[in-house]
Amino acid sequence: MQKINISNSVDSLFEELKDIKPSSTFVLTDTNTLKLCWPILQKGVNIPADHVITIPAGDDNKNLESLAYVWQQLSEKGATRKSLLINLGGGMVTDLGGFAASSFKRGIDYINVPTTLLGAVDAAVGGKTGINFNGLKNEIGVINPALSVLIYVGFFKTLSQENIFSGFAEMIKHGLISNPTVWKHICETNLDNIDYQALPKLLHESIHVKEEIVAVDPTEKGIRKALNFGHTIGHAFESHAIERGETKLHGYAVAWGMIAELYLSHKKCGFPKEPLYQAIQFIKENYGAFYITCKEYDRLYELMTHDKKNEEKDTILFTLLSNIGEVKINTIVEKQEIFESLDFYRDSVGI
């Protein structure tokens, strides 16, 4: 299991880094974390300035060109198989940096220091790495866990409210797939007034849900697919937004996807109405809506056919729920049922 350190103090991160003795250390940032987060980390670590590798910010830069640039910089600056790469950033940086480290010289160690809430509870934990390719999210990559994940809650104070909400959507998912106690804590959270002193405990609870699942099924052959709840339709929303020239944060797309997939859970697996409407109300109040019409259903369906959970070309597999914490993976859902769930989504958010 990955070593996870969550703290309100940045000093604990520095102690963790001092315990590792690589031949050389490199830091991957994007243009945002270079300015906002690297100066904080720099105070506690002795890393040459030219060992900081910076790529453009934004998920559209999680691509082959950025990956090749990181490889090139590592090579030109003398990285060896005993070097260490610190990924300082959100999910884009930890996904791409983890893949760069996993493939450079057939694999070097890396540490994730997530600077976004989304990165902390999702991308940085569990070992999934990769890039977007050919217009599809995370199409190319490997599963290879970081040496450790170091989470400094202070970084989240630099985030916009939208980015906080985006990360919290994954915590909503963790609550739904875990147990009623975690779900209760999620529902009691006031997103308009985050308690940063209490946040580490909530983070630990949420990340532990993912850790336990990944420990049982690290390569996503079975129960790890539980973590995809909300993502089959959510990823389709996210990709379709890009096609329309819009930017929708990942967590928002997953939140909207969960509304549709909760409907499918109710229809196909008997998910109870009370938590169904409780979740929908929470999402509606905090995440607004992604505007779609029935004319876009066919394109959304086509995007879902590319989902990596699918095992056959013309069959779409969903992760659904029969209750809080009762997960049903590999559930086949027909095209008409998916369209019904999109109708339900539109009715629920009022479009």
Tokens at 179, concatenated: 């147990």
Q: What is the percent of the chain with per-residue pLDDT over 90, rounded to a whole number?
A: 80
Of the listed ranges 27-41, 116-130, 266-280, 306-320, the one predicted with least confidence: 306-320
Q: For residue 309, is pLDDT > 80? A: no
Tell me the pLDDT tens digit for each residue of 66-90: 999 999 999 999 999 999 999 999 9
Provide the pLDDT confidence category of residue 138 given band limits of 50, 70 and 90. Answer: confident
Measuring CA to CA, how many Å separate 155 from each of 7, 9, 11, 192?
A: 11, 10, 13, 18
- Give 11's pLDDT tier (boundaries 50, 70, 90): confident
Read out DSSP for 107-138? --EEEEEE-SHHIIIIITSS-B--EEETTEEE
Beta bridge partners of 332: 317
Summarize pLDDT for 76-130 with one digit per residue, the tens.
999 999 999 999 999 999 999 999 999 999 999 999 999 999 999 999 999 999 9
pLDDT averaged over the chain? 93
- 18-22, 39-43, 217-221, 292-296 — which is least confidently predicted? 18-22
pLDDT given at position 18: 78
Q: State the virtual CA torsion across 219, 125, 4, 15 in degrees, nearest 10.
A: 120
pLDDT band per the 50, 70, 90 thresholds, residue 44: confident
Sequence-distant (6+) residues with CB within 8 A of 3 are 147, 148, 149
pTM of model > 0.85: yes
Out of 13-17, 83-87, 188-192, which region has the weakest mean confidence (pLDDT)?
A: 13-17
Q: What is the CATH code for 163-193+219-349?
A: 1.20.1090.10
What pLDDT shows up at residue 259?
98
Question: Helices (DSSP H) in 193-287: which residue ranges?
Answer: 199-216, 231-243, 250-269, 273-287
pLDDT at 312 over 80: no
Which of 19-28, 89-98, 263-272 comes out lowest in average pLDDT?
A: 19-28
Q: Are 138 and 128 in contact (CB under 8 A)?
A: yes
Fold held by 3-159: Rossmann fold (3.40.50)
Question: For residues 162 and 168, is the Cβ–Cβ distance under 8 A?
Answer: no
Q: 313 pLDDT band (50/70/90 cuts)?
A: low
Q: Is the pLDDT of residue 282 over 90?
A: yes
For the chain, the C-alpha Rg in angstroms (whole number) is: 20
Give span(s): CATH 3.40.50.1970, the chain: 3-159
Reported confidence tier of residue 20, pLDDT bands at 50, 70, 90 = confident
| Host H or E run for residue 336 | helix 335-349
Q: Where in the chain is the domain with CATH 1.20.1090.10?
A: 163-193+219-349
**Do 174 and 184 form a contact (C-beta atoms < 8 A)?**
no
Q: What is the DSSP string of 217-229?
A: -TTSSSGGGGGGT
